[in-house]
Amino acid sequence: MADSRPKKAKICLCIFLCLLVGGIIAVVVGVRMWRHSSEHMKWNGTGSTARFQEIVLERCYKYTQSVQPELRDRDCQKIREAFRNAFISKDPCSATEEDYHPLMKLVNQMVPCDKTVFWSKTKELAHQYTKVQRDMFTLEDTLMGYIADDLNWCGDAGSYEMNYQSCPHWKKDCSNNFVSVFWDLVSKRFAENACGVVQVVLNGSISNAFDRKSDSCSGSSINDLRQIIRQRNIKFTCQDNYSSGKFLQCVKKPGDSSCR
């Protein structure tokens, strides 16, 4: 009768090797998962907005069907997909304008001449104004601005998931993050497409209304702005209004007798 011991030894060796390989694989996977989890927690900014993709789609449908129905031919599903593809699986600190070009091609919205409103540190007031003057547009009254307003987003290199724990802070981590690059791009496009009379809502009673300390329309930073605008042969007018409460009331109720 043949000796079966060598065969058993081979079987035991194979089992041992399988267990060893399995253990190594488990360790590698565990390390990668730990590193992935650590990467999710390393940034100093707020994580991606919960339900980001659902919100993008909902806002797109609302804007194209109710707010500006003349844009109802825009494909919101493709817009959501292009938005996500712009940043997903990429280093959140390596964003470029080119990442958003496919998305920009899908929105392609032009604001009519004389209808553009810029703002700086006066978001609430500017938006109250465009709510009353419904044919006026801030950046957030455009399709892309409307969709992305107050949202945050980022992913991780090599991952198909969004990072809901943390995203890069533009000062503490990097300025070329996907949120900052996005707003720089859409702001630039919004400004480049402006034509005719352009209105700018600034708060001249705060410091740095325009780069430097300013108190009113006669303040130094506003004067700087006036000179820059006039050097480009653009008409500049500035109106002081020291009662912000009354101004807001008049924006909401322009027919009020106290506003005349």
For the annotated catalytic residues, the residue numbers are 113, 195
Q: Give a three-class secondary structure readout of 149-160.
A: CCCCCCECCCCC
What are the C-alpha distances in Å from 143 to residues 44, 81, 89, 115, 237? 29, 15, 25, 15, 29
**Residues 6 or more apart in contact with residue 160 via CB below 8 angstroms:** 88, 89
210 strand-pairing partners: 212
**Residues 6 or more apart in contact with residue 249 via CB below 8 angstroms:** 256, 258, 259
For residue 198, the SS3 value is strand
Among residues 109, 130, 133, the alpha carbon closest in space to that of 192 is found at 109
Side-chain-facing half-sphere of 238: CA atoms under 13 Å: 20
